[in-house]
Amino acid sequence: MTAIPNLGAILSPGADPDRTVLWDYAAGDPPRAWSAGELDGLASGLARGLLKRGLKRGDSIAVLAANRTEFVALYFGAMRAGIVVVPVNWKLAAETVALIVEDAEAKLIFVDEDRARLAPAGVPRILFGSADWEALPDPGAFEPITPEPDEPAQILYTSGSTGRPKGVPLSHRGQHWMVQVVSKGDNSQHRLIVAAPMYHMNALFNLKFAFLNRAQVILQPVFTAESYVKAIVDHQATWLTCVPTMMAMVANHLGDGPRPAEFDGVTRLFMGSSPYSQALVDRVRALFPNARITNGYGTTEAGAAVYGPHPDGIPTPDEALGYPIPEGETRLVARDGSVVDGVGEGILQMRNPATMRGYRHMPEKTAAALRDGGWYHSGDVVRRDENGFHYFVGREDDMFVCGGENIWPAEVERLLESHPAISQAVVVPVPDDVKQKLPVAFVTLREGESLSEEAVKQWTIERGPAYQHPRHVFFVPAIPLAGTNKIDRNGLTRQAAELAAARNSSRT
């Protein structure tokens, strides 16, 4: 039986330990450059230090911090020792953070100065940069443990925006498969920016991808459009990964001014975690004319290796998720549970080595998410076209009924964003006594543009079903994001109900 690779060993000095593998902007600007040997040595020292402190294989540690080299080294070092890493979303309330730390049974919490206040009492903590942190590494070589088939390497928690966060244990075997299966060809020449938070699959996946492929990482503590653009220019980045909102913010930041010449060097651009419109693709393509733009679909529960290019070389349409990769399994399921064959629409289910075995301490949630035979029920409604490409339609729980008609917010958002003056749009429902629910839109405009609410409504009425048009349009300077840099739909839904109620009462 082939030994299961340790996920922490993906970070390796290789044949050239002096090569730069990471630039850390948490250390300031200019950033601190780290060689492969330095980073590997720190990771091994931390593996030894954690065991010397009394932690053992199978124990878990929580990390409550913005992106920084110490977080990266701790992440890979702990996994080498068989210690389970639990990156915690620091945008959650302290009470929710405490629930996560308790559920994960974390023996130790690592924090940075800005987020230390969120750490629950009663669990030992170490502050990055403190004397305790400096004393933790035990320098020396370390032989990574050989994981068992389903041994967890990390536990990621869902956002918890609609209830108690769900812990998703993810194995060494599954996560290594996920990174390896998408590593095609020689990628060592690439320079990737990691600006998504390290409590999110996006950032962790890209770190592992970069180190496995001997590429270089430009690590930013948090995302801002200004710092992101500067990093692309200063490091001549070639590979970008982001959520669509991040790229919309970059486009808005640059406005109508000239784009930096260094943008021509970007050859790969992945936008994922939420749907995007053709209008945004056109804006991004104008900024990065030499980049191959890919829709990076993935879930915490079933990984990020789901779609790829068409096996017959058919070009992937801009708004398609891609074509299912042969190494994994996908199927579309109708609401009655039957499998949808050929052209059609259904809820995406996935099964592959990266699929979780269940939520932590939540058997009922697990039973609802994992269907017969270990298929993960994503809740994402997907359409398959005649060439086998998949397209995101909407979340199963985002769809709402207006006067007997089904409304998918993503469809209305794409229509709104086709307007030349609109940068970004989010559609949410508000209660209505007659129609049950009505669509309401939050809209941001491109720099220098102006638009009336009536013009927005008319645009949708003329180009789509009348029942889809937003009954209220609220113009905002920016779309708020939740903890994972995804759109905060729950917060906007609450805000829409308040604003619509206030507007309606003022009319009576």
pLDDT digits 0-9 by tens, 460-475: 999 888 888 999 999 9
Q: What are phi and psi of 261, to 5 degrees?
A: -60, -30
* Cα distance between residue 28 and residue 307, in whole Å: 37
Q: Is 448 left (phi over 0), alpha (psi -120 to 50) or beta?
A: left
In 53-125, which ranges are continuous DSSP H helix?
69-80, 94-104
Q: Report the pLDDT value the prediction gives residue 231, as an integer from 0 to 100.
A: 96
Q: Report the pLDDT value the prediction gives residue 482, as an integer from 0 to 100.
A: 72
* Cα distance between residue 28 and residue 227, in whole Å: 12
Q: Report the pLDDT value the prediction gives residue 161, as an integer from 0 to 100.
A: 46
More confidently predicted of 349 and 433? 349
The domains of the chain are located at: 400-507
pLDDT tens per residue, range 90-108: 988 899 999 999 999 999 9
Q: Report the pLDDT value the prediction gives residue 252, as an integer from 0 to 100.
A: 86
Is pLDDT of 484 > 80? no
Is pLDDT of 162 > 60? no
Q: Report the pLDDT value the prediction gives residue 395, as an integer from 0 to 100.
A: 81
Q: Report which residue type is found at 359.
A: Y
* Cα distance between residue 211 and residue 238, in whole Å: 15
pTM: 0.86
Architecture of the domain delimited by 400-507: 2-Layer Sandwich (3.30)
Q: Residues 361, 365, 369, CA angle at the centre, nearest 5°?
A: 125
* Cα distance between residue 195 and residue 211, in whole Å: 16
pLDDT band for position 6 (cuts 50, 70, 90): very high
pLDDT tens per residue, range 410-454: 888 889 988 999 989 999 999 887 778 899 999 999 888 899 999
User: Residues with Cβ < 8 Å from 326, sequence gap 6 or more?
Assistant: 311
Mean of the pLDDT values across residues 16-22? 96
Mean of the pLDDT values across residues 394-423? 85
More confidently predicted of 275 and 175? 175
- Within 10 Å of residue 75's Cβ, how many Cβ atoms? 25
In 268-392, which ranges are continuous DSSP H helix?
278-287, 363-369
Tokens matching residue 396: 């199963």
Mean of the pLDDT values across residues 68-85? 98
CA 305 from centre of chain: 13
